[in-house]
Amino acid sequence: MSQSEDSSVLRKPYIAANWKMNLDRAKALDLTKTLKARLGDGDDREVAVFAPFVYLADVAAVSQGSPIGLGAQNVHWEKSGAFTGETSAPMLRDVGVDRVLIGHSERRQIFLEKEEWMGRKIRQALDHDILPMLCVGETLDERKKGKVAAVLRRQVRSALDWVEASEIHRLCIAYEPIWAIGTGEVATPDQASEAHSIVRDVIADMFGDAVAGSFRVLYGGSVSKDNVRDLMSVPDVDGVLVGGASLKAETFLPIIEYDR
């Protein structure tokens, strides 16, 4: 399926920062202030930061009154209980979080998060009015073995099994090829296009063409000011999830303003 004119109106460009385990409190707040001042009340693109848990409340206070979305980098699938070290959706909501990353490849690979948890986490986020961004993507080995489509279909299907058609507009997906994350190696526009249309086709299959046409799929993996324009010009790429280049205003602002 390709992008229609109508759907491009619904699919507002989405530029998201994944700060991972970086920055300190002062730097996180400084960067937020800079973004806030620069963005004004602009609403032609959606901008969000996914901050470390311990800074969420402070970033929420600083970003208040601006259009910047505030996200956490993970959430537990239960709303409370004996889960030492975990954070629940109601807790996130409580400190002003409105979105969350689910299944980032670093969570899956380093912390051995299981595929079957993703849908439950999405369910929990939606139930507490938090917008999930599901991360999917293949390893280099899977790509070499021609398994990209199979991997993406499996990851998307198993996670979205927990979502009703009426809720799907509250979600988005970030396609992040694992070989491109933090490596400086970026997917070519053709590779991104292929992967994004695979993801969109699964959405169409599960929820219908109309839903798929308005659903946003972001690209992540070594996005920089030098490649963002090419990536954003791929018809099925609706935004970018940015790690390393989101940590400083001078590298992140040009990404937000990729078309100016």
- Pick 239 or 243: Cβ nearer ligand PGA: 243
Q: Which among 76, 138, 176, 196 is annotated as catalytic?
A: 176
Q: Which of residues 214-243 bind ligand PGA (CB under 6 A)?
A: 220-223, 241-243
Residue whose CB is less far from ligand PGA, 239 or 244: 244
The reply on whether position 18 binds ligand PGA by CB under 6 A is yes
Closest CB 234 distance from ligand PGA, rounded Å: 17
Q: DSSP for 40-79?
A: TT--SSEEEEE--GGGHHHHHHHHTTSS-EEEES---SSS
Candidate residues 192, 244, 256, 258; the one interacting with ligand PGA per rule CB under 6 A: 244
Q: In the numeric block, which tokens belong to residue 53?
A: 């848990």
Nearer to ligand PGA, 15 or 223 (CB): 223
SS3 label, residue 136: strand
Contact characters 160-179, ligand PGA, x per CB under 6 A: ----------------x---
Q: Is position 104 annotated as part of the catalytic site?
A: yes
CA nearest to 12, candidates 169, 198, 194: 169
Query: What would the DSSP string read from start to end of 78-112?
Result: SSSSS-TT---HHHHHHTT--EEEES-HHHHHTS-
Please state the φ and ψ torsions of residue 213, each to the nearest 5 degrees. -70, -25
- The contact mask relative to ligand PGA for 181-200 (x = CB under 6 A, - = no) is xx------------------
Q: Hey, what are 187's tokens?
A: 């997917």
The residue among 132 and 243 lying less far from ligand PGA, judged by its C-beta, is 243
| Shortest distance (Å) from residue 41 CB to ligand PGA | 27
* Residue with smallest beta-carbon separation from ligand PGA: 243
Distance of closest approach, residue 135 Cβ to ligand PGA, in angstroms = 7
Token readout for 176 is: 């992040």
Residue closest to 216 by CA, chosen among 240, 243, 238: 238
Residue closest to 51 by CA, chosen among 101, 9, 110, 88: 101
Identify any residues that bridge with 173 across adjacent strands, giving them in sequence order.
134, 217
Which of residues 90 and 254 has its CB atom nearest to ligand PGA in the complex?
254
* Enzyme catalytic residues: 104, 176
Per CB under 6 A, residues contacting ligand PGA are: 18, 176, 181-182, 220-223, 241-245
